[in-house]
Amino acid sequence: MNCRARANPTPTYKWRLNNWDIDLLNPRYSMIGGNLVINNPDKSRDTGKYVCIVTNEYGTIRSHEASLNFGYLDPFPPEERPEVKVKEGTGVMLICDPPPHFPDDLNYRWILNEFPNFINVDKRRFVTQTNGNLYIAKVEQSDKGNYSCFVSSPSITKSVFSKYTSLLPQTESAKRYAADIQIGFSDIYALKEQNVTLECFALGNPVPVIRWRKLNEAMPATAEISQSGAVLKIFNIQPEDEGTYECEAENIKGKDTNRAYVHVQAAPEWVEHINDTERDIGSDLHWPCIAKGKPTPTIRWLKNGDSYGKGELKIRGLTMFHAGMYQCIAENHYGVIQANAELKILALAPTFEFNPMRKKILAAKGGRVIIECKPKAAPKPKFSWSKGTELLINNSSILSVIYSVMDFNGDFLFD
């Protein structure tokens, strides 16, 4: 796991797992620079959330959390599955019931009689990718056979298949019946720029026709309908694609509809974030940190790796205690972003070392001369001017003199 920070002097690194410090004396762990190496990772000991913590004499910062999980796909249970008898002309659902697994991005197909004779989905047959169940809208004698649910995990490149289920169509006559949606969708929350898939399939005799529409608006330009109308996919979904979508299944005996709202959400993005800042001791600080997203991100702060409040950061009367490394973290359900910055507190007696005043200034009679005084100081100093023993009425850092008389020659003193 990689971790690298820019810092001067060179920082030290440590890692935490589920809020516990990782013991680098354990031979299972090693460090290369700031990178953590886990030798022979183990699911029971190494699963969890990791954080890299970086420190030098100027402060401490924490990395994003990184989750380590172990992919798996267990075998199907060895028990035999019961046969299914159904009247010819009616609809049927065969249950897949996938075994325990991680992650959830499984692909489902069904085998008929023997591998690799996979069922082709069409207007009469459909395999939902939600749970793998097989739907046949109107059973025919040609559907007779043994069915096995075939599950594959692209994440770990592993596949398993279930025991066979025998489907036995009965030759009893079945009446025609209206479309009845078995696979529908409810309100969903989609992340902006991702692809969204909606499924809709109905049983019925005759086999229903599936139609899609977006209420009161045209369908998105990136929308694509496939699998004989059972699947609507919206690619690269945008906020303007939000709205109510409807699936309608119809045959000569009647129709059925499914309607739901698609919400388009967004991960946090910075509107304004913190940068390295210097402030005089005793001054006030208002450090804007603003993010947009949907839902609206929350803002929290860390100072030197420790929690330092939520929302706006305002500090009155800065002291040396307030110096350090700060992190502004914006997060919602869809993501986390963070900005890091150093706050330096300046405390310095006035000095002319970096901006010395000129010892002698020549000026034309009747003209104007500007004398600037720019000492380096923190907090901001007070100014006063004098000529000889005469105190001048001026409390700014700039003295403007109009030479109308020669008597104005002399030495000026700035405090």
- Asked if 236 and 317 sit in the same domain, the reply is no
First to last CA, the chain: 57
142 and 107 in one domain?
Answer: yes
Q: What is the pLDDT of residue 203?
A: 96
- Count how many domains the chain has: 5
Same domain, 99 and 16: no
Structure tokens that stand for 301 in this block: 């702060």
177 within some domain: no
Provide the b/e sequence for 330-344 (b: ≥16 CB within 10 Å).
bbbebeebbbbbbbe
| pLDDT tens for each residue of the chain, 415 residues long | 999 999 889 999 999 999 999 999 999 999 999 999 999 999 999 999 999 999 999 899 999 999 999 999 999 999 999 999 999 999 999 999 999 999 999 999 999 999 889 999 999 999 999 999 999 999 999 999 999 999 999 999 999 999 999 999 998 777 899 999 999 999 999 999 999 999 999 999 999 999 999 999 999 999 999 999 999 999 999 999 999 999 999 999 999 999 999 999 999 999 999 999 999 999 999 999 999 999 999 999 999 999 999 988 999 999 999 999 999 999 999 999 999 999 999 877 676 666 776 667 666 666 677 777 776 666 677 777 666 666 666 555 554 555 444 454 555 444 5
Q: What pLDDT, on a 0 to 100 scale, did the predictor assign at position 246?
A: 97
Neighbours of 34 (CB within 10 A): 19
Domain housing 158: 72-170
164 & 79 share domain: yes
Domain annotation covers residue 46? yes
CATH number for the domain harbouring residue 113: 2.60.40.10
Domain boundary among 245, 265, 285: 265
Q: Quick check: 300 and 309 in contact, CB under 8 A?
A: yes
Domain co-membership, 79 together with 142:
yes
3-state secondary structure the chain: CCCCCCCCCCCEEEEEECCEECCCCCCCEEEECCEEEECCCCHHHHCEEEEEEEEECCEEEECCCEEECCCEECCCCCCCCCCEEEECCCCEEECCCCCCEECCCCEEEEEECCCCCECCCCCCEEECCCCCCEEECCCCHHHCEEEEEEEEECCCCEEEECCCEEEEEECCCCCCEEEEEEECCCCEEEECCCCEEEECEEEEECCCEEEEEECCECCCCCEEEECCCCEEEECCCCHHHCEEEEEEEEECCEEEEEEEEEEEEEEEEEEECCCCEEEECCCCEEECCEEEEECCCEEEEEECCEEEEECCEEECCCCHHHCEEEEEEEEECCEEEEEEEEEEEECEEEECCCCCCCCCCCCCCCCEEEEECCCEEECCCCCCEEECCEEECCCCCEEEEECCCHHHCCCEEEC
Residue 336 lies in a domain: yes
Nearest to 90 by CA among 316, 253, 296: 253
**In-domain check, residue 205:** no
pLDDT attached to residue 414: 47
Q: What are phi and psi of 322, to 5 degrees?
A: -80, -10
* 145 and 88 within one domain: yes
Q: Are residues 115 and 129 in the same domain?
A: yes
Contacts of 298 (CB under 8 A, 6+ apart): 310, 330, 331, 332
Residue 288 located in a structural domain: yes
Same domain, 366 and 337: no
On whether both 76 and 160 belong to a single domain, the answer is yes
Beta bridge partners of 37: 30
Question: Are 318 and 249 members of one domain?
Answer: no
Task: Say how many C-beta atoms besides its own lie within 10 A of residue 140's C-beta.
Answer: 11
Residues 361, 322 share a domain: no
Residue 138's CB is within 10 A of a number of other CB atoms, namely 23
Domain boundary among 68, 86, 109: 68
Tokens standing for residue 29: 């762990």
Could you say which of 297, 330, 346 is where a domain stops? 346
Answer yes or no: is 6 within a domain. Answer: no
> Do 107 and 152 belong together in one domain?
yes
Mention every residue, 6+ apart, whose C-beta is less than 8 A from residue 318.
Answer: 279, 280, 281, 282, 283, 284, 285, 345
